[in-house]
Amino acid sequence: MKFKVLFLTLLLFTVLFTGCTKKNTDQGQNTQGETTPTATPADTNTETDTASNTGETTTDDQPDTVTTASIVDSEDAFVKAISKDGTWIIATLKDLTINQDLNLEGEFKNGKKDDQGKDVIQRKIALYTQDENRTVTARFTLTAPKITINSPMASIQHGTFKGDVYVNVSDFQLVDATVDGNVYFTTDEAKSTFKMDETSKITGKQELKK
């Protein structure tokens, strides 16, 4: 009788041990099969994408200060960007009102070469934003008493300048832009080389003012 009880006890223990072992094994297999999500590092590049805003690119991986663009959303930043220590493109992100006369100064390269392999000189005030297809998505107004254009090959594009424009250099352009004011040319060459496309307009007068 004692032998029978001992035998049943051992049998019950064996069954329980086998069940626990199988359960632990299954749990281990399930744990090994689970995938731990991989953490993606946050993008630490906080610089604004100039190309997407203005449609301009440079061929160098590390553009120098001559070909770099400024994207500005404040009056002080705009004044600094149009100085001789500024950049070849000045792109705004909103309407700006600046209560002082502005001066576009300095000669800048846009990072490209012409057919003769020479650096292309250009200066651009971009009063707009655009999407990846280079479609203009917003236009802005820059307001100031006047702006004097001293940078060669300069242009105002896709927005409105509210004030008078004084042009001291040749080949100034308006590209799909409005001058809500007058345009004065200080030399015959500045006047004769001025260009504006069909979508641009000047609400005031255009005249030579030496």
Q: What is the mean pLDDT of the chain?
A: 79
**pLDDT at residue 24 in the model:** 47
**Strand pairing of 183-185 and 160-167?**
parallel
Q: Domain limits of the chain?
A: 63-208
Among 37, 39, 68, 35, smallest CA distance to 54 is for 68
What is the chain's Cα-based Rg?
A: 34
179 neighbors 159 (Cβ within 8 angstroms): no
103 neighbors 84 (Cβ within 8 angstroms): no
Q: Name 208's Cβ contacts closer than 8 Å, sequence gap at least 6.
A: 184, 185, 186, 188, 191
pLDDT digits (tens, 9 = 90+) for 31-72: 444 433 333 232 223 233 343 454 544 334 333 335 567 899
pLDDT digits (tens, 9 = 90+) for 193-209: 999 999 999 999 999 99
